[in-house]
Structure 1
Amino acid sequence: MPSPSSAYPQPSATDRCPCLSGSPFGECCARYLGGGADAPTAEQLMRSRYTAYAVGAREYLLATWHPSTRPADLELDPAVRWYRLDIDRRERGGPLDGDGLVEFRAYWRHDADRSDRGEQHETSRFLREGGRWRYVDAAD
């Protein structure tokens, strides 16, 4: 796995995956974050990117961002805890598709002020090029 900051929670292989797929971390997002496999669908890439935010895997986030929209750098706030992910909708994004959309809600709280909490609601666009899915941006 890319070297996440120790300021982030680090699940063991047998812990429930932060993306809430129902699978253990070692059988779910860990294999993508660790570089052992590429996410086979746009939804799985979105789930693994959510997990990367939850565990502080900045390098994975940058590596899975489409080059046309990827920022030069990415700063994560270790005081923000991502604790729940809901998938609202998906369009295309399967193993044989070239593009896909995933609408989701990701819930967070701030460790320093537990009353500071919120959600990120987004419909993300993904492209599959050279057999690899990449996050492009939030759809309009």
Structure 2
Amino acid sequence: MASRNQPCPCGLGQPYDECCGRFHAGREAAPTAELLMRSRFSAFAVGDTAYLQRTWHPTTRPRQLRLDPTTEWTRLDILGRSGGGLFDAEGTVEFRAHYTEHGQPDVLHENSRFVRDNGHWVYVGSIPTER
């Protein structure tokens, strides 16, 4: 788990506790699809599988989620977004998530789809993109 004063993995430059940590702890819900995407990236980075499960749409959520301990999530680049605002019902966020696995750098490029479920943003799944 990230230290409360270290920079948040999502890349916004705020301390973890004031940024994605507040969402992970359940003190607040992410108000936009982009902030949910950033908080989910941070959850991968800090190993918070419970948060990932909570913010995954029930129709697409895996029963179990195990993160590979050899994967280190290192940087998130937001490439674009559509919808996903305070008054929207759905949205997408295109991103590149940089990571290393077994010491080898790699990048995950995804366009993620989000919807509101009971008033909260949740991740539905990926829309295929070219790498």
TM-score by length of 2: 0.94
Which runs of at least 4 in structure 1 moved beyond 3 Å after TM superposition?
A: none
TM-score by length of 1: 0.88
CA RMSD of aligned residues (A): 0.9
Distance 2:12 2:83 in 1: 19
How far off is 1:15 after superposition? 0.9
Point out the more displaced range, 70-79 or 97-106: 70-79
Q: Mind listing any 5+ residue stretches in structure 2 that lack a counterpart?
A: none
Residue correspondences, number: 128
For 1:20, the equivalent position in structure 2 comes to: 11
How far off is 1:14 after superposition? 1.4
Identity of aligned residues (%): 49
Residue identity in the other structure for 1:63 = R
How far off is 1:11 after superposition? 2.2
SS in 1 for 2:50: helix
For 2:91, the equivalent position in structure 1 comes to: 100
How far off is 1:65 after superposition? 0.2
Q: 2:116 aligns with which of 114, 118, 128?
A: 128
For 1:70, the equivalent position in structure 2 comes to: 61
SS in 1 for 2:51: helix
Report Cα offsets for 1:86-106 as digits up to 9, x if no partner: 000010100110000000000
SS in 1 for 2:7: coil
For 1:138, the equivalent position in structure 2 comes to: 126
